[in-house]
Amino acid sequence: MASGFFALLDDIASLMDDVATMAKVSTKKTAGILGDDLAVNAEKASGFVASREIPVLWAITKGSFLNKVIILPIAFLLSAFLPWIVPIILVLGGLYLAYEGAEKIYEYFVPHNHDQVSITEVELTKSEILDIEKSKIKSAIITDFILSVEIVIIALGTVIGQPLLTQILVVSFVALIATVGVYGIVALIVRMDDFGYRLIKLNPEDKSVSDFFGKLLVNALPLVIKSLSVIGTIALLLVAGGIFIHNIEQLHHFLEVLPSIIRDFVVGLLVGVVVLLIVMGLKKIISIIKGKH
């Protein structure tokens, strides 16, 4: 009886060791998406009145948890009954990532006009502020859903072939880390300027230590968000390129002379440019057809 109990404990310990090892690999594979997720949500959670930033972020976080609850069972069912479809979804997700990365680079060189107004820039009624908040929360949750699908599928792709229990534990752990980690960091980022203002007001003297660090935090916030956006774009292309090289046989030996990180970036960028041109072409054709009618 005792030997059976200890054997069970040994099996559990072995399983958790395997889960920890594979979770580490899966987290590395999804790091690019997490970087983009962080950049996107930091941008979407900023621009609110200071007192509303945390409630808005909490609403988005709850939506993110709900997204995972919807996505995870579907992913595990596909893995159990249609495992061949996971690499296909992975490549399709890679196409989206490559397109998004290429589009961000395109927008940098060919700026678009975005008619977004910050809540803090104009005088609005309470009901108008709540309407804008609801709209931004809905937009953020939809974006999170797309990114969550990519995170789950990429994590699942690293444990295909493993027992279903191991897949569930590893992918669920990565999904939990993705939500708690990303939104926890976003909460710290969006409160940087508010904490900076408090430091500035802490001491009435000019050019004090608290003034220096307060102004540093206030001025650093837009730079942090822009830096995250750049890092996220590079990460998107790296992750996309890695997906294509490892899942499309014709690309296994493409540009093998290059270091793997440069190779992944080049492949991701090339595919992204192609997808971007196709999407832009389709949009132009649709606009021409609509113009004729």
Task: For 4-37, write each residue's pLDDT tens digit.
Answer: 544 444 444 454 554 555 555 555 555 556 666 6
CA angle 188, 115, 67 (to 5 degrees): 50
Give residue-wise pLDDT tens across range 246-289.
888 888 778 778 888 899 899 999 999 999 999 999 988 888 88
pTM for the whole structure: 0.70
Cβ count within 10 A of residue 5: 9
Most confident listed range (41-55, 66-80, 199-213):
66-80
- Return the structure tokens found at 145: 């859903």
Query: For the stretch 207-223, what's the b/e string if a residue is b when 16 or more beta carbons lie within 10 angstroms of its beta carbon?
Result: eeeebeebeebbeebee
Rounded to whole angstroms, the Cα distance separating 173 from 38 reads 18
User: Amino acid identity, residue 170?
Assistant: V
Write the pLDDT tens digit of every residue in 63-117: 888 998 999 898 888 888 888 887 888 888 888 888 988 998 998 888 665 544 4
For residues 134 and 119, what is the distance between their CA atoms, to the nearest angstrom? 12
Q: For residues 154 and 29, is the Cβ–Cβ distance under 8 A? A: yes
CA separation for the pair 293, 276 (Å, rounded): 26
Chain center to CA of 230: 13
Instruction: Tell me what the pLDDT averaged over the chain comes to.
Output: 76
Contact status, residue 133 vs residue 46, Cβ threshold 8 Å: no
